[in-house]
Chains A and B, each alone.
Chain A
Amino acid sequence: MLATRDDALVRLTTDRVPGTPDWSWCVARYAALHGVALTPDVATLLGAALGTECTPDETDGAGGLAVHGVRSGALETLTTILQTPLLRLGGMPDAQRPLLERRTTLGRPSLLRVSAAPFPELAEGGFGDRLLVALAEPLEENDGTRVRLRHGEGPGAIRSWSAVTDAWHAAGNAEWFVWVPCTISPPAAGWRRALAVAVAQQLVALARAVPPAVAAHARVTAPAAAMAAEARRAYGRALERMAEAAQWPASGADPAIAAAHDALDTAANAWEEAAAGRIPATSLAATESEITRRLHALLTMIPDAA
């Protein structure tokens, strides 16, 4: 099921996809730097990344809740579906710095989890102290002590490892990952199964969405909405391409795929409307549950993967 850049599947996954300003971009970029083609949209799909979560909203000082449309556990889901363990490192920040500096000196990127607050360039406000996945890339003039932190296509933020570990100290945690990236090879029966499992896992995540009553007290910030909208559009793109690779349309699932794609686009628009204040956050429940219905309908039409 797993494949490297030498396999034919790369043709499927190397299409240029608009940068997704979230964890999936970091994961895809990290994979690319390791020679593996894994696009952000495929990562979004395999990580079952769609889902609503609330965090304390500290962006306007008024308290309350902020609602997000991308699940915080998507990275873990992606790596478990790909069967490649995510090696977690962290602990005492001061002990981590030499390891990270050494890694940077060797030209290796690192995936980190950092609080958004000390790194406003990464996600332009709206995230409070929510933990973000970021990629630390070595600089061209690389002495190992400084890196470029990135969370999307933009220039990111150049910081010393000391600044990162100070932020970890302040946040009370320090997390970074070593992961052996890979992608999934179509169009074998195993790939069909992987897609079915990923979509079913997505249904599970959507079924655990924030209830409308909670969302009524939540604010949809522009950056969170942009991330949520892009994730839904990315999911639609990946679903269409991967279903093709798994030969789902051959079993008559084409209309169901198109309907799911429509529901994902509609939901993406709704997130943007909610951020602009044109619809309340509670109305997102309807568009999200429409995604659930359509994905469920799709799963009832898939061919037998055995």
Chain B
Amino acid sequence: MMLRLHHLRGRTCMAAVIRDVYEYHGARMAEEDVFGFGAGPCLDYGASAERREYHLGVISPFLEVTCLETTGVPLRYRLGADPAAESLRLRELLDRGFPVPVALNPLACPGVVEHTPPALLPLLTTHWVLVIGHDDADDSFTFVDNRRHGAYTLHRATFEAARYAGGDGQNPRGMWLDIRFPETLLPAAVSAWLALHRVILGFRDTGGMRSKGLDGLARFIRHAGAWPAVLTAEQRELNALRLMNSITIAGGAKGACRGLYAAFLRRCAELLDAPALLGAAARFQESAIEWQAVHAAIRERDAAAASYWARGSRFQRALQGVLAAETRAIDELARAIPARPPRLPGVPEARVA
């Protein structure tokens, strides 16, 4: 039993899987659309003083939920209670003609991470793949992912192990996405309007902890300047590596995916008849370049050295450049989006007395 779909490689695993699901159901989507409808760009600063870990997320951790919500596709996360029962359920869904997004532990999955630099392996968490077939004779499952054009086939026992392998941080716990694809999607203009506003909401977050959005990035920069005083050389190097991994996902999305978002904004300019979005797209493209400058600063210098983090250092200047670019981009985006959403089909005008 093998489902036929037009699979494409992608920059991030989840976006590529979601793109394939839309494609399979007849909805043409590019990866930038999934990223854009998913309100992909974000700034999310997390710190654990106890573990001496500082993390700056630059891609929304719920991109897939937002993408499916803004396009009108019902979904539910499911966590499997029993590996064998989950395999039966998976076969049943495939036999009914549904490809199924499934989370795997990449380290327990032969062949998936063979080209990943060893230093990044500990940072890899759940990897999403799309299961497209099973073979009863071989007792195996076949899936595709963002990393290559061809499909992978794993024996059921190995596949089940990869769904439950790893410690607390990496065990995917048999997670899969239950997507009930509707007969029609929402009009793309409505979806775009919702998704663009969600990005602004995230970036202009002024919450109590000030850990998100532009405030979160500014806070991260301030804290990074103090790292030499609180972190060991080894911890500094690991945190820099973590940041570099955020900016450039292992699969090859550069510039914190801001260039990808710029492509989506160019499409939205047409969808929403809002040419000013082209200006916002240009600002996000500039932001991508600034993010790459941060990436280069991490790659080319010794992040363990205390001078690396000092005010006025190349790394600090690059971070300030990103903050300025992201602020310009989000300001221009906020000015460019129509305040009111496009009309939903089938909703007649209501007159207010």
Contacts and interface: CB of A to CB of B under 8 A. Distances in A.
A1 interface: yes
Nearest to A131: B76
A266 interface: no
Given A80-B65, A168-B81, A208-B72, A91 B164 contact: yes
A304 B339 CA distance: 5
A299 B341 contact: yes
A297 B353 CA distance: 11
A59 interface: no
B124 interface: no
Interface in A80-101: 80-81, 83, 85-86, 88-93
A1 B207 contact: yes
B117 interface: no
A139 interface: no
Interface string A241-274: 0000000000000011001000000000000000
A207 B62 CA distance: 23
A292 B208 CA distance: 34
B186 A72 contact: no
A88 B77 CA distance: 9
B193 interface: yes
A107 interface: no
A306 B337 contact: yes
Given A92-B174, A292-B344, 11 more contacts: A7-B208, A79-B62, A80-B198, A85-B62, A172-B82, A172-B85, A188-B206, A193-B197, A204-B70, A207-B72, A296-B347
14 contacts: A6-B208, A83-B213, A91-B80, A92-B83, A172-B81, A172-B85, A196-B341, A197-B194, A197-B198, A197-B201, A208-B74, A292-B347, A293-B348, A296-B344
Given A197-B198, A208-B72, A304-B339, A85 B61 contact: yes
Given A302-B340, A306-B337, A197 B81 contact: no
A1 B339 CA distance: 18
A201 to B, nearest CB: 6
Nearest to B198: A197
A68 B268 CA distance: 35
Contacts of A55: none
Contacts of B95: none
A133 to B, nearest CB: 12
Interface of A: 1-4, 6-7, 72-73, 76-77, 79-81, 83, 85-86, 88-93, 168-169, 171-175, 182, 185, 188, 190, 193-194, 196-197, 200-201, 203-204, 207-208, 255-256, 259, 289, 292-294, 296-297, 299-306
Interface in B83-113: 83, 85, 89
Given A91-B164, A306-B337, A169 B82 contact: yes
Contacts of B83: 92
A1 B201 contact: yes
B223 interface: no
B207 A204 contact: no
Contacts of B348: 293
B346 interface: yes
Contacts of B339: 196, 302-306
B200 to A, nearest CB: 6
Q: Which 6 A-B pairs have the closest CB atoms?
A: A2-B207, A91-B173, A90-B79, A4-B208, A297-B350, A293-B350
B78 interface: yes
Contacts of A169: 81-82
A36 to B, nearest CB: 9
A211 to B, nearest CB: 10
Contacts of A301: 352
B55 interface: no
Contacts of B213: 1, 83
Contacts of A4: 207-209
Contacts of A300: 340
B349 A297 contact: yes
B208 A203 contact: no
B69 A172 contact: no
